[in-house]
Amino acid sequence: MRVPTFHVFSGFRDKDAMWLESVEGLGAANERMKQLAGEKPGPYFVFSTDTSNVVASIDTSIQSGAKAHRKSA
């Protein structure tokens, strides 16, 4: 039985996607994506060439200004 290969990318599919590596098995590809995102924050996704779909994604970008200061009225 053939184990499907998935492709791990950084960036977003529709803009600035960069292929990083191929991984056998969806679980392994998902774990590798999370590992890469932990090492270098940013958006990542796993792509299946069998279905031509993104099957997993994560965005660990550091959001500047995530905690906005509000003035009380």
* pLDDT tens digits for range 18-66: 999 999 999 999 999 999 999 999 999 999 999 999 999 999 997 654 4
- Global pTM? 0.81
What are φ and ψ of residue 40, in 5° steps? -140, 100
- Tokens, residue 43: 């958006």
What is the distance between the terminal CA atoms of the chain, rounded to a whole angstrom? 65
